[in-house]
Amino acid sequence: MARMTMIEAIQNAHDVAMERDERVVVFGEDVGYFGGVFRCTAGLQKKYGSHRCFDAPINESGIVGAAIGMAAYGLRPVVEIQFADYMYPAYDQIVSEAARIRHRSNGDFTCPLVIRMPTGGGIFGGQTHSQSPEALLTHVSGLKVVIPSNPRDAKGLLTAAIEDPDPVIVLEPKRLYNGPFDGHCDRPIAAWKKHPLGEVDDGHFTTPLGKAAIYRPGSDLTVLTYGTMVYVAEAAAHETGIDAEIIDLRTLLPLDMGAIEASVARTGRCVIIHEATRTSGFGAELSAVVQELCFYALEAPVTRVCGWDTPYPHAQEWAYFPGPDRVAAAFRTVMEA
């Protein structure tokens, strides 16, 4: 078992999948020769050749459109959109083609396509490099949407996505690429190679899609979250002394309803945290799920801590980013209700 950053784990997942299955091809902007803007595909072109790992023009619609055709004809393409913010030109292809091809063809065709996108902020990327568009994707029937929070899950979820017969969107929190981040921007950067979840098996393994993980057991309240906010929630629990059970959802679509219901029914309180805009964010869906499944167990209203309803700022990033102070305040409010 090796210690890896999330970048290394993603690269390793590509490598293992390409070695096991010659149908797996990787392409996107700068993913070949340079190994991707974050180097998640480094070395793949040299090892597998430019026919299996290659650069594409700056045309997200063309990248995804070509990949859909490849998938329909039996390949297993894995494409990278450099930033999730750049997915919008390809959104029609994702929604109207990739997600619908199984239904439209009455099962004659499937679309075993993976679209990887670095997501979220915390890197001073401003409004066009920091968006979290997961709610736009979970709204689409026919897609699966996953967000890993650590290197081990990054490899396992990506491997499961590549082997899935339907299109899977893998959103990778870029603030976590090199280490966990607890929201305290004034502290030194932590390293995955000193964190237990930086231990990643070298060979083939999968993390099941649709299965949440209990990141931190607790009895006072349930936190439903994913990606970077897992560590922000952990920091808030530590700083408040509140025994929060942190559920790392890992897969947003399909959602692990059983894990949510079991935890909230036991704690009676629920805080939902995500970095994306609050209005119509994925937290609204989670809140509805909790109300429907756990209404009679709730001791306090479900509370959301989210990004503000504004474009993602550059100069005031840490006022936008849901940090541990905002999360801690929500924990206290829910416990006092």
CA distance 20 to 16: 6
Catalytic residue among 14, 51, 103, 129: 129
Read off the tokens for 241. Answer: 């002394």
Tokens of 170: 């893998």
Secondary-structure percent of the chain, ordered helix, strand, coil, rounded to 5: 40, 20, 40
Pairwise CA distance, residues 95 & 143, whole Å: 8
Rounded-to-integer distance, Cα 104 and Cα 97, Å? 9
Residue 244 pairs with which residues in a beta bridge? 221
Residue indicated by tokens 């936190």: 223
129 is catalytic: yes
Q: How many CA atoms lie within 13 A of 65 on its CB side?
A: 10
Of 198, 129, 180, 183, whose CA–CA distance to 326 is shortest?
183
Buried b (16+ CB within 10 A) or exposed e, 91-108: bebbbebbbbbbeeeeee
Indicate which residues carry an active-site annotation: 129
